A and B are shown apart, each in its own frame.
Chain A
Amino acid sequence: MFGIVGAIALVTAIGMLTSRSAIHSALFLVLTMCSIAVFFLILGGPFIAVVQVSVYAGAIMVLFLFVIMLLGAEHTPGEQNLPWQPAVAIILASVLLGTTGYTLWRTAPSWSASGAAPTAMLGSVEAVGRLLFSIYLFPFEVTSVLLLVAMVGAIVMTRDTK
């Protein structure tokens, strides 16, 4: 199960990276988001998985597609101002992946020791709601202000100044 969904996530992420058209990139990214939502389900977070699908794969990607179609900018000219840039980028990203992989390989045995005992349903809606409205109440309220500011900012930036 992990292998199949993980392969889907990786392949669609690479598809997003390599497809010429921005629309195809967006649709590949929707698939990546959905496979990550499946991982959230496997890891015991049904609430967070539903939020992932509805907010990320739904709202955010619709916003992306809307802007792509609004601007009519599916294709950008392929020329690069810096011809050596992709090679350097891939080398740097490989170094990043190598260092994270090395760290993981060094520390993996310590995690293989047994963790906490599993509970039946870790991230049920009730448990998440209880935590969100008790300990995390103040950050929760702050995010509402953040969303309001983002909304006002988006409107102000895109309106026509007469």
Chain B
Amino acid sequence: MTQDVFPQVLPLYLALSAALFSIGVIGVLIRRNAIVIFMSVELMLNSANLSFVAFARYFQQLDGQIIVFFVMTVAAAEVAVGLALIVAIFKSKKSINVDDISLMKG
């Protein structure tokens, strides 16, 4: 019976997840293209999923993977509605630059 080495590797997965999440945060903050901002949000959701699955492996509980399944469902719904919003905004504004969408600015 070999010793399970996964507990030593778990912090690497969490560090990778944190790095991907930070890249997603930078993307949301510095990009002006609404579609790329949406992609960054997807990247953040994915990094959280990676943490979920890593902990599911660590605790040998399947619940983490089920949560990932639900996160994917919510992400699919979010993308459908979000891209519909972008298309609607593009129809009226002819632009998807988030700086142009300042209708509520005082």
- Inter-chain contact count A-B, CB under 8 Å? 228
**How many positions in chain B have a CB within 8 Å of any CB in the partner chain?**
74
Question: Are A22 and B59 neighbours in the complex by a CB distance under 8 Å?
Answer: no
Q: What is the total number of residues of chain A having a CB less than 8 Å from a CB of chain B?
A: 81
Bound-complex Cα distance A158 to B60 (A) = 44
Task: Specify which chain B residues have a CB less than 8 angstroms from the CB of A96 in the assembled complex.
Answer: 21-22, 25
Q: A128 contacts which chain B residues (CB < 8 A)?
A: 62, 65-66, 69
A99 nearest CB across to chain B (Å): 9
User: A60-B79, A67-B87 known; A40 and B70 CB under 8 Å?
Assistant: no
Scoring B residues 69 to 105 as 1 if CB is less than 8 Å from chain A, else 0, what string do you get?
A: 1101111111111011111101000011101000000
- Within B41-73, the residues touching A (CB, 8 Å) are 42-43, 46, 49-50, 53-54, 56-63, 65-66, 68-70, 72-73
Cross-chain contact A118 with B65 (CB below 8 angstroms): no
The complex places the Cα of A92 from the Cα of B27 at a distance, in Å, of 12
Q: What are 16 A-B contacts with C-beta separation under 8 Å?
A: A13-B20, A22-B36, A32-B46, A44-B56, A56-B46, A85-B29, A90-B26, A113-B7, A114-B3, A116-B58, A118-B6, A123-B65, A132-B69, A136-B66, A154-B81, A158-B87
